[in-house]
Amino acid sequence: MTTKQKPLKQDLREVREYHTPSFGLFFKTKKFLYSQTSPYQKIEVIENEDYGRVLLLDGLVQTTERDEFFYHEMLAHPACVSHPAPQNLLIIGGGDGGALKEVLRYPVKQVSLVEIDAQVIEVSKEFFPWLRPSLEDKRTKLVVADGNEFIQNREEKFDVILIDSSDPVGPSTCLHQSDFYKKVRRCLNPKGVVAAQAGSLLYHLEHIREKNDFLKKIFKVVRFYMSPVPTYPGGNWCYVFLSDEIDPLVSIVRKPPSGLKYYNLDIHRAAFALPNFLLVIGDVPPGATLLR
């Protein structure tokens, strides 16, 4: 497949992502670089003066050159510094290669990246050249497949599994459900670790509550953590660390790689300190639900 196409008309000067009917995020576009609809979603790449190149799927920001490191570093490194020796890793989703770039900083043997939409991979290679080396690394095994189906009857076991899914709509809906996480657990080696994105603290609290309820029935260790992601809804993002044997607040077995922009071990410890409205009964914001 080629991502080459005729230049797009430059009559659209803004891209808007609505988080509610009355609030959202907008980018003034310096250039429209790409816009096509794959069998799964609309894929767009724009260029903005502040955030550089921006990848959007169905109109929602997936990654930007300026702030991608917040999300990708926080999805990948808490799991990798907590596992004693991650060698065989699996990433479900994340066809842009951002999380892949982070785990390849470690001396791993193989990383299987399972992405349902091949066009996302090709677009990322072309328009985000700093991601291309990871997608073409000899340790990377690219698999174009549905992540849920990929692990359905998988005999292969993994040390670390990252769930870099989109929000729970469309083809990603199944990646946020209990049955999926039961399959994920079966694919873990002893001392295996899972890290998954869990959504916005401001807008997705009901989904976080539901995940907390069913994940505690599947894994012995369930710890939510968070980080800023400026271009994601609400600006603060939630993740969840899962394991049967490893507690990320106890088992930190290695220093993170050099050259990171956000993550360090102080950030690691602080990220698991959750705000009061997720911890105690009290003055709870509208729509918030307790995790403990």
Question: Residues 54, 159: one domain?
Answer: no
pTM: 0.90
Query: Contact, 129 vs 199, CB < 8 A?
Result: no
Residues 138 and 204 in one domain: yes
Q: What is the dihedral of CA 72, 284, 216, 19, to 10 degrees?
A: -40
Residues 6+ apart with CB under 8 A from 53: 33, 45, 46, 47, 64, 65, 127, 128
- Domain of 144? 68-278
Co-location of 72 and 51 in the same domain: no
Write down which residue in 32, 47, 63 finishes a domain: 63
What phi and psi, each to the nearest 5 degrees, are found at residue 216? -70, -15
Banded pLDDT at 10 (limits 50, 70, 90): very low
206 and 104 co-located in one domain: yes
What CATH number did the domain enclosing 22 receive?
2.30.140.10
Assess whether 164 carries a catalytic annotation. yes
Q: Is 68 a residue whose pLDDT tops 80?
A: yes
d(CA 261, CA 66): 11
The rounded distance, in Å, linking the Cα atoms of 1 and 112 is: 21
- Give me the residue label for tokens 């979603």: 41
**For 233-251, what is each residue's pLDDT tens digit?**
999 999 999 999 999 999 8
CA 78 to CA 32: how far, in whole Å?
A: 35
Pairwise CA distance, residues 246 & 248, whole Å = 6
Contact between residue 34 and residue 15 where contact means Cβ atoms under 8 Å apart: no
Same domain, yes or no: 48 and 183:
no
For the chain, what is the mean pLDDT?
Answer: 89
- Closest to 68 measured CA to CA, from 227, 255, 264: 227
pLDDT tens for 149-206 read 999 988 999 999 999 987 655 556 677 789 999 999 999 999 999 999 999 988 988 8
Same domain, 166 and 138: yes
Q: What is the CA radius of gyration of the chain?
A: 18
Nearest to 160 by CA among 266, 84, 63: 84
Q: Above pLDDT 90, what percent of the chain?
A: 77
Same domain, 95 and 49: no
Q: Are 106 and 86 in contact (CB under 8 A)?
A: yes
Number of domains into which the chain is organized: 2
Statement to judge: residues 124 and 224 lie in one domain = yes
> Quick one: 150 and 89 in the same domain?
yes
Active-site annotation holder among 96, 159, 164, 167: 164
The phi-psi region of residue 87 (left if phi > 0; otherwise alpha if psi is between -120 and 50; otherwise beta) is alpha
Q: What is the CATH number of the domain that holds 189?
A: 3.40.50.150
> How confident is the model over 245-279, as pLDDT tens digits?
999 999 899 999 999 999 999 999 999 998 887 77
DSSP state of 177: S
| 121 neighbors 128 (Cβ within 8 angstroms) | no
164 neighbors 197 (Cβ within 8 angstroms): yes
Question: Distance between CA atoms of 165 and 94, rounded to whole angstroms?
Answer: 7
Shared-domain flag, residues 47 and 164: no
Question: Is the Cα torsion angle 216, 231, 274, 106 positive or negative in sign?
Answer: positive
